[in-house]
Homo-oligomer: A and B are copies of this chain.
């Protein structure tokens, strides 16, 4: 019967469709457009990776938005070059006006120069529109996610058969999900009846803003976050953590979680997780670790000890789109005790969840994540792992951390640069302080760093970012690009110096 129907379809397929619809769903048009796509992307990556382009092609935001809108005016596929020609034009525009993260001089945000191979699998999932919520919608996507979560739980130090987790769209959403679960476990009535006044959350003072946001979203109020002061290495001061928890207990204020960092966004500092765990255990408080950035150190025999104690956490957040080098977004929310995974939500959705198959609840990810329909975010990580093995991630982590330490040595060897901390990770905050700038006030030094960075990235030879540490404006580098070499870091110092001269002379 299937054969017969397919024969019929040869004659009648897209029956009654307009020409545009027929072309937008034609496998042949797709094939031709994908051919252009493959050529253009390969050539683009070749140029960018060799450093033969700018890192960022700076453009005025308003003008760019107008330019993007202009493409919506006249259907390209109706032109002489058809669908494939239109695709070529769109890609050329997109590739020429974006960020070139694969340039060796991209040493900026905690978003990697991802392996382009991982992006191919993400792209295949997008084209075939594999999504998740219930198993039957994305059976292979669900299987891949289960396999990955199980491995990541194992690396965290847990038994995969008693732990659990999901993949979700990024660290902010992941932290929100984990803290919501904590809230619902600690205060079981809060899902149905709302959050009691006085509920608190405790966090490292350098915690990512999404943790404070989570308190705002979850109904505690952002002011309910008790920030624990830092020690000299910008780690959570564990003695002070104990003090804060004692104080909260005295005030009878419920604590939904203690949120530790591995590593913190400004500097990559990693909390002493064993010590934090001891305090949390003593106070019987949920321990959450935002390991969005640092989780990947668990792949490295050389560096995994920096996360010692993470196995005591109740929940862990880990971004694969940072140091596992897959395209954004792919984040794991992991729970030490798998029985808490259904505490995040309670709902009824008969068009999704088949009441005649309750056993599927454990497979269907929609029960455990904020998204209903969810992208299949795991294919890139799965593909990279399958192609090169877990050793690839170890090699990447080791290379990034070693290069960052080398960068600090380079900075220390130059009189006009200052590293602001010992790197525990692949993040390093620093300042450029030529003799004339050292004489300025802190406010003027800050203005100099910021203006210098703005000029540097607009000129396009390098991409780095900025931060502020205790009121001090700093330049900030994340070594998150396997194409970056020590020579690139030397060249960065030269470029910063030249740019600083120009800013000084303005």
Tell me how far the C-beta of A168 lies from the nearest C-beta in chain B, rounded to whole angstroms: 9
User: Is there an interface contact between A327 and B391, defined as CB atoms closer than 8 Å?
Assistant: no
Query: Contact flags (1/0) for A91-133 with B, using CB distance below 8 Å?
Result: 1011101111110100001111111111111111111111101
- Copies of chain A in the complex: 2
Given contacts A68-B143, A68-B382, contact A190 B351 (CB under 8 A): no
Does chain B have a CB within 8 A of A231?
Answer: no
Tell me how far the C-beta of A274 lies from the nearest C-beta in chain B, rounded to whole angstroms: 27
Given contacts A34-B42, A136-B457, contact A122 B123 (CB under 8 A): yes
Does chain B have a CB within 8 A of A186?
Answer: no
Chain B neighbourhood of A1, CB < 8 A: 461
User: Is there an interface contact between B58 and A392, defined as CB atoms closer than 8 Å?
Assistant: no
User: Is there an interface contact between A120 and B37, defined as CB atoms closer than 8 Å?
Assistant: yes
Size class of the contact patch on chain A: 35 or more
Chain B neighbourhood of A29, CB < 8 A: 117
Chain A: interface secondary structure? helix
User: Is there an interface contact between B45 and A27, defined as CB atoms closer than 8 Å?
Assistant: yes
Binds B, one of A73-81, A275-283, A296-304, A305-313: A73-81
Chain B neighbourhood of A142, CB < 8 A: 61, 64-65
Chain B neighbourhood of A210, CB < 8 A: 372
Given contacts A129-B327, A467-B351, contact A76 B386 (CB under 8 A): yes
Does chain B have a CB within 8 A of A162?
Answer: no
Pick 15 A–B contacts, CB within 8 A, sort by A: A2-B461, A24-B117, A34-B41, A34-B42, A58-B139, A69-B147, A69-B150, A72-B151, A76-B387, A77-B387, A86-B387, A90-B387, A110-B373, A217-B218, A351-B467
